Amino acid sequence: MVRRRRLVGALLAAPLVLALALGGLVTWWLRAGTLPLASGATWMTVQKTATADATPRPGAPVFLLAVGTDARTGETVARGDAIHVIGVNPTTGQGTILDIPRDTGAAIPGRGTDKINAAMSAGGADLLARTVSNLVGVPISYVITTDFDGFIGMVDGLGGVTVNVTRRSVDSFSGANFEVGPVRMNGTQALAFNRNRHSFPTGDLQRSENQGYFILQALAQLRAQDPGPGATLALLGNLGRHARLVNLGWADAYRLGRLGLSLDPANVENVLIPVGSGVGSRLQVQPSAGALFADFRDDAILQSR
Amino acid sequence: MQIAALVGALTVAACGGRGDSARDATTTTRGPGSVTLSAGPVTVERTAAAGEADPADVEALLAAGAAYVRAASLDPMAGRGASLRNLVTPEAASRTTGPGAEALTDAGLGRIEDVRVTAAPAPITILTDANGAAVLGAVTIDVTISGDAAKGPVTVRRIGELAFTRVGATWLLDSWRLSVTRDGRGIPTGAPPSTTTEAP
């Protein structure tokens, strides 16, 4: 059970976090006439990093880190098991999601080399952000973190996400049981889809990529609601009850939401970073990642692909 | 989430001395630089349990919206520049020029005489913080400006949302989603086309 919950929290966190960051969730809820706001449960933490540029260059790409931890109710120390760097180009509305498998070996500042997911438990979101920033070579301005419990509330609040399942998946570990084709997933199903790795030859790699795909599916649906500034304020009102803001005010949060909404999912590439076998159970970042990261860091767009 | 819209509108009307304006379908004003917005439905989005629409905030947001219309449209139509410099946040300042600027202002339209402004009631959304204080506000505008240019009549209709953030005692424009339609024989050749803009 512990294993199952950990996987669920880790794998589902990022898509939900981004879904909220994109700002259409509340609009969706409002239109559906249901507002699951009574619990006041914390779904996520949105943190502006210490390295975030206070006066960013106009039009400069913005990089944020979406993290799903394996924290369970009451736990304060957790690993970052779902890790996605999201680059947004505010000028073009394009972007890229880099999916980083949790077992990727990385230099963790002050901790030596370890699996990248250990950075979160060792030093929280700040250390994970620095680790990812060093690995990819981009400045992480925001970290959005969620956990198992937060994810459940978000998915169900969203009213489901339609996913095109491309491989029949029956997995007792995750609970995945999907036929090929479009599936409107509720929270539980979405959890299973995002945590399932046993149905794929490449295991966790495919799972990480599936998470990125799920993010894009959610984004596409949210953007279809076409929320404007007023609807973004509705989102923030909801976030205020379900999110913890660290080092940022409401104007920052508003701009972050609008930034997310400026991103057209059709113009976002979802890319698994190239990794291969490494030391022990660690995955090693492949040499080809250097060119990928360089392409990513200048404008958040992958021209080379 | 919705507060009593009509109550809000009437409160604003009373505070602002607009008389029946909040109950009218539109507000029409004439004269150089003159524009009045009345409140449509007012919605408060709360980040905490408490938080109501302060009539003073609604009034201030309407005034900020009117100031934008004045600076973006009426000033250039009166032969003055379209300067939003003092109305926008530093973060938004860079977006007032370049792509999208043609929908943001009516610079380039030329001088317009006998200007008449008709504004539909403006729905307002306010975000309150944990203390119940308004920190962000969105004003939806539907403003039609008509008048006479050198070559004939001109009508400009601008529809969309303006988002303001509170900076001290001032509400500054931070983002927008606007669509503008420009019609009439008086539209000069090479004038900005009908267009839309959004920032971000």
So what's the pLDDT on residue B32? Answer: 61
8 A C-beta contact, residue A23 and residue A231: yes
**CATH of A2-159+208-293 among 3.90.1150.10, 3.30.70.330, 3.40.190.10, 3.30.420.590:** 3.30.420.590
Residue with token string 């109950």: B23
On the question of pLDDT at B19 being above 50, the answer is no
Which stretches of chain B sit within 8 Å of chain A by CB? 1, 43, 45-48, 89-91, 94-95, 123, 125-130, 135-138, 140, 160-163, 165, 174-177, 198, 200
Mutate which of A22, A250, A256 to disrupt the B interface (most B C-beta within 10 Å)? Answer: A250
pLDDT in tens, A131-169: 999 999 999 999 998 877 777 777 776 778 899 999 999
> Cis omega (within 30 of 0) on the bond before B200?
yes
Kindly state the helix (H) or strand (E) to which residue A121 belongs, with its residue range. Answer: helix A118-136
Nearest residue in chain A measured CA to CA from B94: A58
Q: What long-range pairs does B58-62 form, CB within 8 A, spacing at least 24?
A: B58/B8, B58/B11, B58/B12, B58/B124, B58/B126, B59/B12, B59/B15, B59/B16, B60/B171, B61/B124, B61/B126, B61/B137, B61/B139, B61/B164, B61/B171, B62/B12, B62/B16, B62/B37, B62/B38, B62/B122, B62/B124, B62/B139
So what's the pLDDT on residue A72? Answer: 64
8 A C-beta contact, residue A276 and residue A106: no
As a dihedral over the C-alpha atoms of residue A69, residue A71, residue A72, residue A75, rounded to 10 degrees, the angle is -160
Interchain proximity B47–A258, CB inside 8 Å: no
Kindly state the helix (H) or strand (E) to which residue A145 belongs, with its residue range. Answer: strand A142-146
Q: Which has the minimum average pLDDT: B19-23, B66-70, B97-101?
A: B19-23
On the question of pLDDT at B138 being above 80, the answer is yes
Mutate which of A26, A48, A239, A255 to disrupt the B interface (most B C-beta within 10 Å)? Answer: A255
Find residue A104's DSSP bridge partners.
A283
What single-letter DSSP state applies at residue A300? S
Interchain proximity B163–A251, CB inside 8 Å: no
The question of ipTM being above 0.85 is answered as: no
Q: Which has the minimum average pLDDT: A193-207, B43-57, B165-179?
A: B43-57
On the question of pLDDT at B8 being above 80, the answer is no
Interchain proximity B175–A230, CB inside 8 Å: no
Which residues touch A180 (CB under 8 Å, ≥6 apart)?
Answer: A165, A166, A167, A168
Interchain proximity A251–B45, CB inside 8 Å: no
Closest CA to B184 of B115, B105, B90, B102: B115
DSSP chain B: -B--HHHHHHHHHHHHT-GGGGTSS-EEEESTT-----EEEEEEEESSS-----HHHHHHHHHHHHHHHIIIIIHHHTTS----TTTB-HHHHGGGSSTTHHHH--TTS---EEEEEEE--EEEEEEE-TTS-EEEEEEEEEEEEEEEETTEEEEEEEEEEEEEEEETTEEEEEEEEEEEEEESTTPPTTPPPSEEEEE-
Q: What is the mean pLDDT of chain B?
A: 82
Interchain proximity A59–B163, CB inside 8 Å: no
With beta carbons under 8 A apart, name residues in chain A contacting B95.
58
With beta carbons under 8 A apart, name residues in chain B contacting A261.
200
So what's the pLDDT on residue A17? Answer: 45
Identify the band that residue B195 occupies on the pLDDT scale cut at 50, 70 and 90: confident
Nearest residue in chain A measured CA to CA from B95: A58
Interchain proximity A58–B95, CB inside 8 Å: yes
Identify the band that residue B13 occupies on the pLDDT scale cut at 50, 70 and 90: very low
Residue numbers of the domain that contains B178: 5-199
What gap in Å lies between CA B128 and CA A90, rounded to an integer? 27
Identify the band that residue B185 occupies on the pLDDT scale cut at 50, 70 and 90: very high
Residues of chain A with pLDDT under 70: 1-40, 55, 72-73, 157, 239
Question: Could you tell me if A219 lies within 8 Å of chain B, comparing CB atoms?
Answer: no
What gap in Å lies between CA B149 and CA B191, rounded to an integer? 12
What gap in Å lies between CA A60 and CA B75, rounded to an integer? 32
% of chain B with per-residue pLDDT over 70: 84
Question: Could you tell me if A239 lies within 8 Å of chain B, comparing CB atoms?
Answer: yes
8 A C-beta contact, residue A282 and residue A289: no
Q: Which has the minimum average pLDDT: A50-54, A210-214, B59-63, B181-185?
A: A50-54
Mutate which of A62, A223, A233, A259 to disrupt the B interface (most B C-beta within 10 Å)? Answer: A233
- For chain B, the domain total comes to 1
